[in-house]
Chain A
Amino acid sequence: MKEEKVKIIITLTVAVFMVLFCLVPFIYMVVTSLSKNPDFLSLQSSFGWTFGNYKNIFTARTLHFFEYLRNSIIVSGVSAVVAVFIASLAAYSITRLSLPAKSFILLFTLSMSMFPQISLVGYLFSLMTKLGWINTYPALIFPYIAWILPLSLWILVSYFMQLPKELDKAAIVDGCSTWQILYRVILPVAKPGLFSAALLAFIFAFNEFMFALMFTTDYTARTIPVGIALFQGLHGEIPWGNIMAAATITTIPIVILVLIFQKNIIQGLTRGAVKG
């Protein structure tokens, strides 16, 4: 009995510590965004609540907050959907069709994602310049698709492998062509896996900073992480209040997406861990 209690206390303590550790930056962000005097360095300054920062980013045209947000959502959304579509075709052929050197393809794809981003930026910049794509959506969408493809592919391959082979056989016997097997059986059945892959891909693209910094020049294509980072105050000071308010708003789409697809994501990431 005593041992039970000690166990519970230890578990709770560790859990509380973990949660606090993860949430402190987030709480700090929200508090700062609501603060009248968001100078986090001076502890002496008095604290007062205000929605001024939020009002500011919504109304100040010069901050281009909505343009950044729109760019981010479009770029990340398109990249995620296209990447997951390509990855689902690849995962299907790797798991179901007779294809030589399957494991080589998988490992090769994985090794691609291990290149440091910085090593590609220079070349990509000159490529985008030649193509005349600098400061356009394609300049971000194409690299993002390539960048998140390995992750999506690996998630989907492991997901597709869990689906019983008899499903394919049943579909073949029922008269399906290979395409019909894919879009009438495998993809609908693999929906949770597709959702989790798409969501992770979206978050990945949404958070990306370096490419967005290099390949965009203004609000016509710049995404929100870069946009926020480059917020400028009136006299060159860093407007922490605005930055934090914008960051808070920016997390909202992701939080909403995660909440909506929570069940799917957990299923997608843990499927196969236990026999269903």
Chain B
Amino acid sequence: MILTLLDLTKKFSSLRGINTAVENINLEVKDREFFVLLGPSGCGKSTLLNLIAGLEKPTYGEILFNDRIVASHDKKIFLTPRERNVAMVFQNYALYPHLNVYENIAFPLRIQKTKESRIKKSVDDVAGILEISDLLNAKPFELSGGQKQRVAIARAIVRRPDIFLLDEPLSNLDAQLRNTTRTELKLLQRNIGITTVYVTHDQTEAMTLGDRIAVLKNGRVEQIGTTLELYNRPSNVFVAAFVGSPPMNLIKTTISEENNNLFVGLGNIKIRVPEDKIKTLKIEKAGELIVGIRPEHILVGRLNKENSVKIKIDSIESLGKEMLFHFTFLSQKLTGLTNHLNLNENELIDVTFSLDKLHFFQKSSS
């Protein structure tokens, strides 16, 4: 099932005025794709999911499942979630507390008035897939968080939905369980082959799960791409800072011109702004430019005379295999990532910037 969003906008009017939750969203989710909506809280990602599910009516725009319009403001079409055949998993699982696990999973089938024998077979099948066959008689309050999560997923996939929607399904699990469930979820999605839209604020989840990711901010799409595209070629400061952990260092610099070339300075290091960036970012001859560098591209040691600076380490954070070191450079806080594990606080060291790994952003795009 291909999911297409055309110019989708949702506004909520309240006493405090009109609040635009999502604005002019255009995107296409491919058949069987694992698509992630990533963004900080309040960016409209859950609203977008509700729009796809049919829990909210769009203010403008259209939603298409393959060629079928399921919601359109202009054509006055709005199909209910039931008619869309979508399934959804919620952050707090939303299991029916009065029903046992079997009845919870069977619930959507009972609403569809499926035959009892078919219900039994379907429930047993998905319970087997999710390894909860021994829990079928338990009530939700007897289950652990991970088990509830499995039941919620089982309830969602039992009726073979066309589109599978997940709203931060892992955020109530503890860290370890989250990792294992993440792997299983990815595998499950591959096996059942249902187009999936997954909402999260956790960039690690987004990067590990998503075939493609849409980064949202204030109801708008900032960038759509694969994990590597977002990581290696973030299109603006927001995506650069949001994707990747620890986040990218962003340094404010001033542009200077010399012999028809534009330069920015990192202290004594002079960096030529690449031609293609000047074009794509429409860089003026004067003004400010933000230079981004990922922590792993700040190398410890004086590897190169031109790119190195001497810094004093403010603080360190050991990650076991690697170490984060924080320092102040040009009165801005920067972070480096290294596998030299013998650094100390207040130590003076040389660091080298990998200039070929720099990112350039217009200030206005922040």
Interface residues of A (CB under 8 A from B): 164, 166-167, 169-176, 180, 184-185, 188-189, 191
Contact = CB atoms under 8 A, between A and B. Distances in A.
B107 interface: yes
B87 A173 contact: yes
Contacts of B55: 169, 172-173
Nearest to B88: A173
A164 B53 CA distance: 18
Contact of B98 (A172, A173, A180, A191): A191
A246 to B, nearest CB: 40
Nearest to A166: B94
Nearest to A170: B94
Contacts of A185: 96
Contacts of A171: 96
Question: Main SS of chain A's interface residues?
Answer: helix
A185 B92 CA distance: 16
Question: Main SS of chain B's interface residues?
Answer: loop
19 contacts: A164-B94, A166-B91, A166-B92, A166-B94, A169-B50, A169-B94, A170-B88, A170-B90, A170-B94, A171-B96, A172-B81, A172-B82, A173-B54, A173-B88, A174-B111, A175-B82, A176-B82, A184-B111, A188-B96
B146 interface: no
Contacts of B86: 173
B87 A189 contact: no
Contacts, number: 56
A164 B98 CA distance: 14
Nearest to A174: B108
B107 A174 contact: yes
Contact of B81 (A164, A175, A184, A191): A175
Interface of B: 50, 53-55, 80-82, 86-88, 90-98, 107-108, 111-112, 155
Contacts of B53: 169, 173
B97 A189 contact: yes
Contacts of B50: 169
A106 B90 CA distance: 31
A174 B87 CA distance: 7
Task: Tell which of A166, A174, A180, A184 has the most Cβ of chain B within 10 Å.
Answer: A174
B151 to A, nearest CB: 12
B98 A189 contact: yes
A168 B58 CA distance: 20
Nearest to B152: A170
A173 B81 contact: yes
A166 B148 CA distance: 14
A164 B155 CA distance: 18
Contacts of A174: 87, 107-108, 111, 155
Contact of A169 (B88, B96, B97): B88
A164 B92 contact: yes
A247 B111 CA distance: 50
B111 A166 contact: no
Given A175-B112, A180-B111, A189 B90 contact: no
A170 to B, nearest CB: 4
A176 B88 CA distance: 14
A167 B55 CA distance: 13
Contacts of B87: 173-174
Contacts of B82: 172, 175-176
A120 to B, nearest CB: 36
A189 B96 contact: yes
A21 B93 CA distance: 48
B15 to A, nearest CB: 12
A176 B111 contact: yes
Contacts of B90: 166, 169-170
B112 A167 contact: no
Contacts of A191: 98
A47 B334 CA distance: 92
Task: Tell which of B91, B93, B97, B155 has the most Cβ of chain A within 10 Å.
Answer: B97
Contacts of B97: 189
B334 to A, nearest CB: 41
Contacts of A166: 90-94
Which 3 interchain pairs have the tightest Cβ spacing?
A166-B94, A175-B82, A170-B94
Contacts of A170: 88, 90, 94-96, 155
Given A164-B92, A176-B82, 13 more contacts: A166-B92, A169-B90, A170-B88, A172-B54, A172-B82, A173-B55, A174-B111, A175-B82, A175-B112, A188-B98, A189-B96, A189-B98, A191-B98
A167 B80 CA distance: 17
A222 B64 CA distance: 65
Task: Tell which of B53, B54, B90, B95 has the most Cβ of chain A within 10 Å.
Answer: B90
A175 B94 contact: no
Contacts of B111: 174-176, 180, 184
A191 B112 CA distance: 25
B200 to A, nearest CB: 17
Contacts of A184: 107, 111
Task: Tell which of B80, B94, B97 has the most Cβ of chain A within 10 Å.
Answer: B94
A235 to B, nearest CB: 59
A169 B54 CA distance: 10
B96 A167 contact: yes
B81 A167 contact: no
Contacts of B91: 166
Nearest to B89: A170
Contacts of B88: 169-170, 173
A167 B90 CA distance: 9
Contacts of A188: 96, 98
B126 to A, nearest CB: 14
A175 B55 CA distance: 11
Contacts of A172: 54-55, 80-82
